[in-house]
Structure 1
Amino acid sequence: MNFNTAVVVGYFVLIGIINFSFRRMASKSSTDYFRGGGRMLWWMVGSSAFMIQFSAWTFTGAAGEAFRNGFPAVYVFIGNVLAFLLAWAFFAKKFRQMRVDTPTEAVRRRFGESSELFFTWAIIPLSIIQGGVWLNSLSVFFSAVMGIKLGTTLWITGLAVLSFSMIGGAWGVAASDFVQSMVVAVMSIACAAVALFKVGGVGEIVHRFPGNFFYGPDTQSPMLLTGLFLFLVVKQILTINNMKDSYRFLGAKDSFDAKKGALFAFLLMLAGAMIWMIPPWASAILFPDAGIAHSAQLGKKASDAVYLVFAERAMPLGTVGLLMAGLFSATMAAADGALNHNAGIFVRSFYQPVIRRGKQVSDREALVAGKIVNATNGLLIILTAQFYSQLNQMSLFDLMMRVSTLAQVPILVPLFLGALIRKVPDWASWATVVFGLVVSYFVSNVVTAHEIAGYFHIALSASELSAANTVLAIAAHVFLTGGFFCLTMLFYREPEQTRREQLDSFYHDFAREVVSDASQSEFDRLQRHKLGRITLMMGAGLFAMLAIPNPLWGRLLFLCCALAILVLGALMCRSANPVAVPGKELQSQSS
């Protein structure tokens, strides 16, 4: 067993401990399993929201794009930064105040039962498609490191992600997200610092990058990249601040912690956007062959493994194992949207009202049904990822952009605008999605960027054409799909009394703060205590990596990382002072 494999095995053991540690908290009720009972502290909420948006694609598809085209690869992450800032200012608090367990329950309150059923069967397939992209990104990396065929790696990593997600539910995933966000942070900082040292600083990256660092080597139109930046910011704002993805904040213990969680995610994303792409940029200078180094294992997708090449050639032994551990956690966080959250959506919005015909369902039955759906979704994600692995002509970056702009944005538009605009008919939500899918078809098959460029006799390179397709798709949905939703205001009529009372109740809750109850202090103590001890274990593992035969600078690097994690773990344990709450049992927060 080599050092990297040993690091990954140690990581799996730790994740298993985390999920079993939180298993009891996740099995108290279905609301505990699906959203942590609405009891999570802000740093768990924020780190989980950050890791969901981070995903393994950052170190694979986005890194490959940074290696090829320079600074434009950061546009998506700048969009995430601004989106989390907007969540802190408005949406995070409002989403927590919807007082639901799943996003489709919020859709029912806002747009009625028909829309709930429609979005149930729109969100679940979309989450499976996205989960396939994330799992494929992870498997590309694992396949290159382990030397195993990509198809085999998909099943190994997919079943591992599924197992861990099922054991600990939302609690286990959020806890592992927090621990691994620290590992990703220290690892990213270490890689960026080494990259800057070896290449000679930021100025050398800009000066020596092949082609134009700010526009890419074959980009002739800066205006096109400006448009790409602006519309990617809009897309990421839609992606993070909509009712479908409100689950990021539903688990917060109260409105204030939801808001603080969004701020924490903003700070993590801001720091990450500054440092994640430094190693791929440096690799374009230091290791020009990085894009083909793993072509034997990955074929035409070898350029998506440039971060791995940097870790192999420039970092101490064991770093690749840490990188693999971070990627696995990021994928588990992202895939949770297609596992636990899909299970919650299915149980709350289809199993109970349709299959069980509205009859009261026990928590045990809901939990069993949720885990069955969880397992089914996991298998579908693996099969979807296997299909993506055969798309040899499309990079992971382009694949992610295609899925997110053509399939995802039509669903996001009404669920973003619906939180802001009240006087639209209930059917506006699903009608906008249908209209948006028609728009997606036209911009991808009829009025494409290639056709428009040909009409105006404009020659576009491959990277420019990819950017133009993304700009066209997002712009079409912003102006056409968004415009369609706004035009439905012309057809708004005051609803009948029962529906009006439902809407009044929703907006009353939407504006009313959630305040944690008296028993919350014990939940807070448990979270700090459990995660503090687990963080100390993580720090001890990093400290043990000093035994790996690295040069002195490599051992000092691991020592600094270990000390940072150990100090944080000690502070968390120290803050977990028992608070006696007589007569209170640990129950899920109903609000």
Structure 2
Amino acid sequence: MRFAQNVDYIVLALYFILMLSIGIYYSKFSKGVHNYFAAGNKVPWWISGISLYMTNFSAWTFTAAAGFIYHTSWYGVVYISSGIVTYFLGALLTAKRWRRSRVISPIEYTQTRYNIQTQQLLSWVISANFILSAGAQLSATCKFLSPLFGIDIDILIIATGLVILFYTFLGGLWGVLITDFVQFVILISMTLIISLLSLKFAGGLKGLFENVPPFTFEHVYNNVFYDLNFLISIYLIGTIGVAAGASQRFYSVVDEKSALKVGILASILSFAQPLLFAVPPLVARIIWPDLSQVDLFKGFFQPNDLVYLGVALKILPIGLIGLLMSAMLSATMSTLSSVYNFVGSIITRDIYLALFNPKADEVKQFKFGRITTFVLGLIVIAESLLYVHSEFGIFNIMVTFFTLFNIPVNIPLAFGLIFKSIPRWGASLAIIWGLIVGAIARFVAGWSIGAQVYIAGISTFVILMLSDKIRTLYLKNKTFLSLISLAVSILCSLIFLLNLKTEPSIARYLIIIVASFSLGFSLIYFNKFVKETEQDKKVVEEFFKKIETPINVAQEVYGKSGKETEVFLFIGFILIVIGTLISFLPFVVHTEKDIHIFIIVASVYIIFGVLMILYGRKNKINKEFILSENPGSKTKTNKSDEINRGI
């Protein structure tokens, strides 16, 4: 096996420089808050779709997920392929509605759709969840790469965190989207070559299917039980997560059709998951059935997490190992840069503008957004330095945040766009219910992840959809509502007490009973603070009129001032440069025997680059012709709209 050499360090350094250069280049297109957080709604749908696909990858995909597939075989493959379903269904639910909401912050619409209290609650919870999770992802990446390169992990965390921070800080959403595309090409080329070459160690596809254990629904991995309920819960969280959490990718494109294409493209790309990410760990299971006997994995606490790296090092020549590290970093960098921009927009629009400075103009919002993004990056770096030395474990931290926050927050965000019957105040109580019920189920009653997600999701959805009826009962028949609250309190207590999956104790009983009765009678007490007027109902009506109104591309997108962004030519140039440099690597590092691998990888970049340049030149010529035919207007023809959309 080969390990990182000097040339690999050079490749990694050049990759960092490339990402920073993209951020600097696209900073000239991010001179206002609308362009910084929504890219002026001019992002080609395929760029946004690839970016959406990329945001779900990090070093975790190559480590923890690979280890999970190694242990559970085909069950893990089904797990990692969830995007096929979740992207498609999530986009069908809300993609068009997000674009028609005409917002530039993922939950900016809640101040109108719900109320200021709901907006603030969502803003704080989502921001905390994303930032805490981002710290775990950065530390996971650097913990994996540090021993490979022999770099102190704290130094690696600081360096990597600063690179991600600066290109996000400089380039805004355009910088994030374009780096996502470049990282996508790097990721696809490296994972594809590793998967195809690794098959020879398993005897080809036939040998893979014959030697990998058959599919089963029940597994125990690191003392955690996984079954069908876990898979269903992951697909459920994923679908609702896309419907709510992919908002920025949906509303940054020009119109509703483009928004739907974003989700469909991400779904189609997910069909490649088994080939790109599952084959190497499955091959590892065949060639290394006992990792404790393999020198590479000796001395590691959880060797399963290193099986993808082990297969890659068995295949890749010097030089491409550095590019593999770049691919792993690219996945994490894509996720973290999206988090910085996403949370930055929330804090700027939904906290700073709504609470502290409602009269702030575009310039002040833009400056505050940039400062916020910078501070968020520093916080994530500090978290990573803390997490990486924590005995609790990075994987446990990630699972805790993901399962606790996502369902209670995303259900109101997604379904608030769909159901007009939900009152403006309804989401707040639903979120609180979901968070508390999920926490009790997981940390007090000791339920499995799947069961926790089920009960948190059902609780959130039921309270959200019945909130108007609960309000009606409060106003017309408080006695009956009191009886319902008592019944709900008793039912919740019995559900948890009779299904306790951990060691019984007086403290657990008390927590369950107190929490259950607090939730039950919150149906009454919460309504004491609700103020709903006819004006509130009119606001909701107006909101849904906007949702039902198609986007006027000519007026709402291209009628606005701002620099036009040359997407295709710039991306093409970058990819050709990368491909050309890779083609010279075998002669620099004297690995001519592996030249076919370098040629395949380089060809992928050059082909992508040439296609981008040809397409970009065609668009530029057509656009100049149309503008000459329509002086004084950039958007007088449908053809012009199509060109700018990148169709």
Provide, for residues 158-208 of structure 1, a one-character-per-residue CA deviation record: whole Å limited to 9, x for no partner.
Answer: 122112211111101100101111111121111110111221123433443
Question: Partner residue of 2:356?
Answer: 355
| Alpha carbons of structure 1 residues 437 and 256: separation in structure 2 relative to 1, 3 Å | same
State which of 450, 457, 463 in structure 2 corresponds to 1:484. Answer: 463
Q: Secondary structure at the match of 1:105?
A: coil
Distance 1:435 1:78 in 2: 31
Conserved? CA contact 1:311–1:319, under 8 Å: no
**C-alpha distance in structure 2 between counterparts of 1:373 and 1:433, whole Å:** 26
8 Å CA contact 1:165–1:332 kept in 2: the answer is no
Cα gap change, 1:201/1:261 in structure 2, threshold over 3 Å: closer, same or farther? same
Q: How does 1:399-418 map to 2 (within 5 A)?
A: 399-418=397-416
1:5 aligns with 2:9: yes
Shift of 1:117: 1.5
Structure 2 partner of 1:334: 335
Cα pair distance change 1:75/1:348, threshold 3 Å: same
- Pair 274,473 (structure 1): closer, same or farther in 2 beyond 3 Å: farther
Shift of 1:393: 5.4
Deviation at 1:524, TM superposition (A): 7.5
SS in 2 for 1:576: helix
Distance 1:151 1:576 in 2: 42
- The question of 1:535 aligning with 2:575 is answered yes
**CA deviation profile, 1:430-487 (whole Å, cap 9, x unmatched):** 21111112112211222213xxxxxxxxxxxxxxxxxxx2212111123233222223
Distance 1:505 1:531, change over 3 A: farther
Say which SS state the counterpart of residue 100 (structure 1) adopts: coil
- The match for 1:323 is 324
- Aligned with residue 470 of structure 1, among 421, 444, 449: 449
How far the C-alpha of 1:584 sits from its partner, in A, is: 5.3
Maintained 8 Å contact 2:75/2:216: yes
Q: Identify if the C-alpha distance between structure 1 residues 69 and 552 changes in structure 2 by more than 3 Å, giving closer, same or farther.
A: farther
Larger radius of gyration: 2
Q: Which has the higher contact order (CA 8 A, sep 6+)?
A: 1
Equivalent in the alignment of 1:459: none
Bigger shift: 33-42 or 475-484? 475-484
Aligned counterparts of 1:525 and 1:385: Cα–Cα separation in 2: 34
State the distance in 2 between where 1:508 and 1:287 align: 60
Name whichever of 45-54 and 249-258 sits farther off. Answer: 249-258
2:109 is the alignment partner of 1:106: yes
Cα shift readout 1:247-293 (whole Å, capped 9, x = no counterpart) = 12121122222122212111112212443111112122224565786
Displacement of 1:45 in angstroms is 0.4
Is the contact made by 2:233 and 2:450 (CA closer than 8 Å) also made in structure 1? Answer: yes
Q: CA deviation digits over 1:519-557, x for unaligned, max 9?
A: 859977721222222222232233233435476663212
- 2:241 is the alignment partner of 1:239: yes
Q: Evaluate the alpha carbon distance shift between residue 392 and residue 213 of structure 1 in structure 2; reply closer, same or farther with a 3 A threshold.
A: farther
Code of the residue aligned with 2:29 in structure 1: it is M
- Give aligned-pair identity as a percent: 23
- After alignment, is 470-479 or 185-194 more displaced? 470-479
**Residue pairs, 1:332-481, within 5 angstroms:** 332-356=333-357, 358-359=358-359, 361-392=360-391, 394=393, 396=395, 398-449=396-447, 469-481=448-460
Match of 2:587 among 514, 523, 547: 547
TM-score by length of 2: 0.80
**Cα deviation, residue 302, structure 1:** 4.7
Query: 1:339 is paired with a residue of what secondary structure?
Result: helix
Distance 1:107 1:199 in 2: 52
Which stretch shifts more, 172-181 or 6-15? 6-15
| TM superposition shift of 1:497 | 4.0
Give, as a single letter, the amino acid of the residue that structure 1 aligns with 2:160: T
- Which one-letter code corresponds to 1:262 in the other structure? G
8 Å CA contact 1:93, 1:256 repeated in 2: yes
Which ranges in structure 1 are unaligned for 5 or more consecutive residues?
450-468
| 1:583 aligns with one of 627, 632, 637 | 632
Going from structure 1 to structure 2, the CA distance change for 1:232 and 1:218 (only over 3 Å counts) comes to closer
Work out whether 1:139 is the aligned partner of 2:188.
no
- Structure 1: how far apart are the matches of 2:443 and 2:537? 42
Q: After TM superposition, give the deviation of residue 100 of structure 1 in Å.
A: 0.4
When residues 276 and 295 of structure 1 are mapped into structure 2, their CA distance, relative to the original with a 3 A threshold, is closer
Q: 1:183 to 1:302 in 2, by over 3 A?
A: same
* 2:195–2:275 contact (8 Å) kept in structure 1: no
Q: Which amino acid aligns with 2:547?
A: F
Which residue identity is paired with 1:235? I
How much does 1:572 deviate?
1.6
**Bigger CA drift: 67-76 or 169-178?**
67-76
> Which one of the candidate residues 62, 67, 71 is aligned to 2:65?
62
Q: C-alpha offsets along residues 366-417 of structure 1, whole Å, 9 cap, x if unaligned? A: 2221121112211221222233323445463x54333211232221222223
My pick for the range that moved more, 45-54 or 503-512, is 503-512
Which of 117, 122, 147 is the aligned partner of 1:119? 122
Matches of 1:490 and 1:146 in 2, distance apart?
60
Q: Which residue of 2 aligns with 1:266?
A: 267
User: Quick check: 1:499 aligned with 2:499?
Assistant: no
Contact 1:165 1:336 in 2 (8 A): yes
Letter of the aligned partner of 2:455 in structure 1? A
Assess, with a 3 A threshold, how the Cα gap between structure 1 residues 317 and 407 changes in structure 2: closer, same or farther.
same
Preserved contact between residue 98 and residue 509 of structure 1 (Cα < 8 Å): yes
Give the TM-score of the pair, scaled to structure 1: 0.87
Q: Which residue of 2 aligns with 1:457?
A: none
- C-alpha distance 439-550 of structure 1, shift in aligned 2 (>3 A): farther
Q: Which residue of 1 aligns with 2:28?
A: 24
Evaluate the alpha carbon distance shift between residue 568 and residue 119 of structure 1 in structure 2; reply closer, same or farther with a 3 A threshold: same
CA distance in 2, matches of 1:54, 1:525: 26
Task: Tell me: CA distance 1:440–1:259, structure 2 relative to 1, closer, same or farther (3 Å).
Answer: same
Distance 1:534 1:254 in 2: 28
CA distance in 1, matches of 2:307, 2:401: 23
Q: Which runs of 5+ in 2 are unaligned?
A: 473-530, 636-640, 642-647
Residue of 556, 566, 587 corresponding to 2:596: 556
Report what 1:455 is aligned to.
none
* Match 1:73 to one of 76, 87, 95: 76
Alignment size in residue pairs? 558
Structure 2 CA distance for partners of 1:293 and 1:4, relative to 1, 3 Å:
farther
Please state how far the C-alpha of 1:157 moved relative to its aligned partner.
1.5
Equivalent-residue separation in structure 1 for 2:298 and 2:373 (angstroms): 35
